[in-house]
Structure 1
Amino acid sequence: MDLALASAAVSVRVTAAVSPRWGAAVAMPLFGYVATPRPVHVDDEPTMLRARLRTVRIPGIDRRGVDVDTYEWGRGPRTVVLSHGWNGRASQFSVLVRELVAEEYRVVSFDAPAHGASGGRRTYLVDWLDVFAALQERHGSFDAMVGHSFGGLATLVGVAGGVDAARVVTIAAPADADLLLSQFQAMLGYPDTVAARMRELFATRYFPGQPDPFAWLSGVRRPLPPGIPLLVAHDHGDRVVPFGESGRIVDANPGAKLLATKGLGHNRILVDDVVLDAVLDHVRAPLAEVAPVAAEEFGAVAA
C-alpha cells in the first residue's frame, strides 16, 4: 500500500468509528483507484512496437467518456481477445501474442482505463465489459477470450452476459466481485459494518435500480452458457488471488478444465511454457474436441 492510500485508510477507519455510512462514503472513491501504471517490460517492447494502435470510446466509471488504447497483431480470420487484470496492461501478454500470431490468429488486447497508456485514474469491471462490446462491434465474434486475474473475472461475466466468444480461458482469476470487496476491506482495515454499507453504496451508485448487482458480477452465480469450453489456469502459491477461486469457477462450469501449477505465482504463470501450451491447445482445438464433457484437472510444476 502506497503512502497516500495508507493515509486514506486511516481516514476511513477514523470516520467509520463515528458512522459506518460515513466511513463507506470515504472509502468508496478509493475502491476504483488505480496506482501509477507499470512500465512496459523491456522484453515486451518489440511485440508492443509491432502492434497496430487504435482506440475505443467507452462511457467510463463516471459515464463521462474515456478513450481506451487497443492493440492488434496478425490478420488471421479468427480473433482472440486478451484481457489484463487490475494494475496490469496489455504488454503482459506479449509471449502469448507471439504464439497466437504464429498460429495465424488476429490478436486484440487493450489497456483498460487508468491502466497502461490509457488515461484516467479510476475504473471498474463495467469498463472491461464496455471494451468487450466495442471490440465485438469492430471485429465480430471472438474465437476465444483469455483473461488474467481481474480480466479473467470480467471475461467470465462478459461471456455469461452475451459477449460472443467460442472459447474462454481464465488465468489466476477471482470467481466473483465479492472477493474484491473482501480484499479491499482487508487492505484498508475497516469493520464489517462499513463493509455492509460499502456493498449498498456500490450497488446504488454504479447499478441504480438493480437490487443485487453481485448476482451477475460473478462467474459462480452466473456461469458460462452451456457448450462454451473453459480452461482455468491457477497457481497453488498465488498470493494475489487465492487458488481456491479456481475450484469455485470450475465447480460452477461443468466440464471446465483446471490447469493447476506450482511455483509460478500470480504473474509468471502468464509466460510459463506449460501454461502457454495449454492455452494454445484450448484455443485452436476444434470445438467438438474441447466441448465440456467432464471436470478435469492436470498439474504443472514450474521448472
Structure 2
Amino acid sequence: MSDKIYFKSDSRFNFKKHMLNVATRVHHRIAPGHAEKTATKLLLTPVRAKPKHAAPADLIEGSISSKEGLLKTYRVGNGPVWVLTHGWSGSANQFFPLMQHIAAQGYTALAFDHPAHGNSEGEVGHLPGFVSGLEAVLDSLDETQGVIAHSMGCAAAIECQHPKLSNKPLLLIAPVLDYVSNLFGSIERSGYSMRLFRSVVSKVENEYNYPMASVDPFEKLKNRTAHCIIVHDQHDKFAQFTVSKQAATQMCRVKLIETQGLGHGRILQSQQAKDAFDALIS
C-alpha cells in the first residue's frame, strides 16, 4: 500500500485525504503507541513487486548477511564489478536487461534486493536501511568499479560513505536528488498526519543514528570527484527532472541524458541507460 502514498502526486483537495488526515491525527492523539506501529507498517512497508523480467541464463543467485537480515544477490558476467541498487518498492529484477548489457561489455553486474524488498529479508524499508544494505554488499566485495542506481537507490548511493565508493563513477537513473522534500511532500499530499509521520521518522533516526537533517543527496553529489551520468525522463511523475537538470547545470562532473515518454520505471530498460553505461566505461 505504501507505493500508493509515495507515488501519488495529486495535490488537489480530496475528501478521502481530508478524512485520512483527521483520522490519523485523532488516532495519534488518543493512542500514540498503536498509531505509530500502524503508521510504521503502512508507511515503511514497501510492495514486493512481482518479477517482470526473465532471469538471464547465466544468472548466479546468492545471499549475504547484513544488519537487516539476509539480502538476496544476483550476479551476471565476469570482470570488474558494477553494483546496481534499486528504488522503493523495486527489486533487482528490474535491472536484468541492463545487467546483460553490462556483462556483454566485459564486466560483472551485481544487483541485490534491498531489505524488505524482492526476496530479501526484512519487514520495513527506509533510507538508512538502504544505505546499510548497500554497505553490506560493498563489504562483500574486494573492489567495485562503480554504482548504477535507480530512484531512491540513487539517494542511498550518494549518501553511502563506504570507502569502496570513494571516487567511483555513478550512473543515476531517475534519481530522487531532493529526497527529503520529496518524501515529506508525498506524505503531506497523501493527507496522512505529518506529526505522526515525523514521530515514525524520529524512531528510525534514533535507531540508526541517522538524522534526516543530514540527508542531502543534491549537495553531496556536488562534493563527489568522480564522473556521474544522470538518465532522466522529462515527464517523470515521481522524481523531479528539473532537479536533475539543475545538478547537471551546476556540477561540472555531472552529465544529463534526457528522455521522453519513458517515465520512472521503463527508463531502466532504455537504450539511453545502456548508452550512459558505455559512456562511463569509455
TM-score class normalised by the smaller sequence: 0.7 to 0.9
Tell me the distance in 2 between the aligned counterparts of 1:18 and 1:32.
Answer: 18
How far off is 1:175 after superposition?
A: 1.0
* Structure 1: segments with no counterpart, 5+ residues: 61-65, 286-303
Are 2:152 and 2:179, in contact at CA under 8 Å, matched by a contact in 1?
A: no
Name the counterpart of 1:183: 186
TM-score (ref. length: structure 1)? 0.76
Residue 71 of structure 1, aligned match among 71, 74, 78? 74
How far off is 1:11 after superposition?
A: 6.6
Residue 220 of structure 2, aligned match among 207, 219, 222? 222
Residue 122 of structure 1, aligned match among 102, 124, 127? 124
Q: Deviations over 1:41-90 (max 9, x none)?
A: 2xx2141x531111111112xxxxx11101111121x1101111111111
How far off is 1:202 after superposition?
A: 4.3
C-alpha change, 1:161 and 1:249, in structure 2 (3 Å) is: farther
Tell me the distance in 1 between the aligned counterparts of 2:143 and 2:26.
Answer: 50
C-alpha change, 1:32 and 1:193, in structure 2 (3 Å) is: closer
Which moved further from structure 2: 268-277 or 101-110?
Answer: 268-277
Name the counterpart of 1:164: 165
Are 1:34 and 1:114, in contact at CA under 8 Å, matched by a contact in 2?
A: yes
TM-score (ref. length: structure 2)? 0.81
Are 1:101 and 1:107, in contact at CA under 8 Å, matched by a contact in 2?
A: yes
Which moved further from structure 2: 19-28 or 249-258?
Answer: 19-28
Name the counterpart of 2:212: 213
Name the counterpart of 2:229: 231
How far off is 1:218 after superposition?
A: 2.1
C-alpha change, 1:90 and 1:225, in structure 2 (3 Å) is: same
Aligned length: 266
Higher RCO (C-alpha 8 Å, min separation 6): 2
2:63 is matched by which residue type in structure 1? T
Partner SS state of residue 177, structure 2: coil
Name the counterpart of 1:53: 61
C-alpha change, 1:202 and 1:113, in structure 2 (3 Å) is: closer
Aligned-residue Cα RMSD (Å) equals: 3.1
How far off is 1:163 after superposition?
A: 4.1
1:280 is matched by which residue type in structure 2? D
Tell me the distance in 2 between the aligned counterparts of 1:79 and 1:192.
Answer: 41
How far off is 1:92 after superposition?
A: 0.8
How far off is 1:220 after superposition?
A: 2.0
1:108 is matched by which residue type in structure 2? L
2:255 is matched by which residue type in structure 1? K
Tell me the distance in 2 between the aligned counterparts of 1:59 and 1:193.
Answer: 28
Partner SS state of residue 257, structure 2: strand
Name the counterpart of 1:14: 23
Name the counterpart of 1:291: none
Are 2:257 and 2:272, in contact at CA under 8 Å, matched by a contact in 1?
A: no
